[in-house]
Structure 1
């Protein structure tokens, strides 16, 4: 299609006396703003005026309708009576002018004007017949008369109707039944609180319905109406879902939500005819909240006044589903009772706690705990009910203003009320930085025997673990803890090595060794996530034994200070990791000996009692006695 063919059409459509309606209908396209021409009937006034299926309507009777909804456009067409003038563009023409940033109007010079031609009625057809009295100028030949007679006979055998039957037209605003589900895309405005509608369930009817729609709200602007039944939310059918599930789906949309709805009359029609309502039905009308520029917003938006007796009383009990976090102690709130008031109330809320995240607020009165009304329970009973939930609990609460409203109106607060707002603690993944492996650089002291720790292995868990830690030892000073699991020794991973191999690595360090360890909680965390712990991880904490001089002082950063360590016991044996020295009594080098070697070592440690020598004579024994 060349640029010469890209012209808007100003179509004046006139009804014919023998044709009901204009012969076209409207539809809205999902994801596209504006009103479009749907089906155009063959042989209709609309077709005769140059209207085409898929045309976008720009003007009606000289008025731009770009920002009007479906109902407003239908009303304009009906108000025109038996003739209506519409400025139309097909999809290619529409795209062309948008790319050129030209606003299409009926005043443009290249607009093509087309009108429905007048259609003669039956009486006009009789007037146009020639009188039979006029004789032909020449007498017909025999052949001509014979052919004419044959044609006349054939016409008599099959008489023709006065005119071909016209198709049944479709009214302008319906696809034949005048019912339209609406797909409403509702977007929040920065200067308006929420969407501007509420939900309610009707006892005698299944499903979720639209309650009051606030005036001048995003919901009203998207053509949401009171009494509409909700079919889908954000592309998902919700007809069998609960009130709370529907609320959560609406909240999941963030600052916008898309709702497929039907009014009561349309709902009854589709149910009676067994028609499943989906957004793919051709009669679905798409409407959306208009974008609102910042300049259009008033600095102080006028609040919407809502009568207290209506459903949009703006009081909302809250069902708070509070879940504990692994890196937070408890729920983060406490309870208190007020002397002048009955009931249990929420006291202080810890900042950045699971309770705060679930929208629990200070001063809330508790109505239910885990689905049970607790208004007559004692303080201790409520605490027990909360504890019974384990790591999570559900609290139905009201703030003081809502509490006063419901009591004043004699309304029993329940979790299934339509205005209840549900909220819950978000799932919190504990970051790895919460746990800190420790790289412990253990350095021997000259006045202390060994490192001051021993090793043990656990059959069920596998791996090498730190056993007993001696008080005031190099190991304790370096931050080593009992039950730590060893990951690395001197920067080498030892998780798959034997007990003897690990001891050998520690001994190889001489008077110092580096042990990468994790406590029980950190070990479980890293294992559950398949994370291999290394000394290169950013969360590793580095600890080191404070060095000591021979005089028994700690040396730290070049400065010396008296050592705060007890004088070493002279009878203390050397730890397991030191060669050719007596082993510690609590394990030490004995763990590295065979049974035979251990018996030999014990035999060597026995005192040499000269009285036990069997080959010593009496004189030698007497001399020993004299020396005592």
Structure 2
């Protein structure tokens, strides 16, 4: 015990890092997140910032789970060797903020949606479990601990186009990686929204942190007639310093961007929506969902859809990484009024270059929410190549069937419990916004069959484990029972959990 006390005292006496924009480390998140000393109680008792990034086709490397009975979002697993582990995310951490948004009291569906909509980079504000519990006991909420930038005080993503005076700025620097811009009055950079005295953070999506002045000059020259700069004005730098926040790209607002995502609102007419949705390879060979054969005069064309647009969100919810069938199911769930967010090829190339999601730069963040329809969703007149219909055959009275497709993390989004002393498997938890919720599963639903196999025997769990790994979709036959009914005839000590409901992010 004495050794532990000495270790704690030593940690608390260690001089803390203070960010000086002209002398210190360029990005505070690198210092704050890469210090993994478990004895650093000072760091763990305060909110931490984890700036995560992922490669194409990969995840950030952590699993998120909502705490039962609370609006608390728990990191329940961190994958080794991933961005989440490298940036100091820990099992048990509570997520307080996503980018510049406080999410402590948001539904799990909203938090997952915010993280996925952030694209390849996201800034998480997290708090260790013990500090979170203490804050709740003292203040009733940990949300008050989550620092955010003031409205209008954010880094800027500025697209600068050369004119007769060039880009309209010169670069000063103190040492490698620390650059500030001196603007020409009325020049191209000033017109593009670059603030006076701005610190330069990125050029065309590449950090300048490790560049020399000569390397930066060469990079600007190679940009040609236009360049996209991530910058932070003095006010932003000062507020980030006071809050301990990094000058992170996902916090940026767009200024004079050459292109933006488009929100299309379609209402189905007598001849349908009038477009075809097709999965094919796009930039860098990555799979995406593209819109083709837009019929003249039909709702899709009237809404502004163009052939070759890539679909990035349905009802404001990112569809990056989802399969074709899952996306079609989400569109069908909207019925006759569909809200789609798309990017044309030029916008796709631009946002891929700056490594940010186009959804961060929507003019309006409000979008219709996707209804939690049952499995018999309204068919979509998209002129798709034939897709397996989500309509299911008739079932006996009192029961229903649902088809489930796995989400991006491979799970179906529900927790299954079973009664060891009797033939009863039931849904004890449904992840909001997950595949199960969209298919209409509810807490208390009792499972009668899985993929045509009855679940009333001794080998049910073994069979379910095998079926869950089978090719999707997963077909469940269910009967609805209220949780009160279940509690009335199921002894609590006989109930066991089969699987956890968490989201891989």
What is the TM-score with the length of structure 1 in the denominator? 0.27
What is the TM-score with the length of structure 2 in the denominator? 0.32
The answer to which structure, 1 or 2, has the higher relative contact order (CA under 8 A, 6+ apart) is 2
Larger CA Rg, structure 1 vs 2: 1
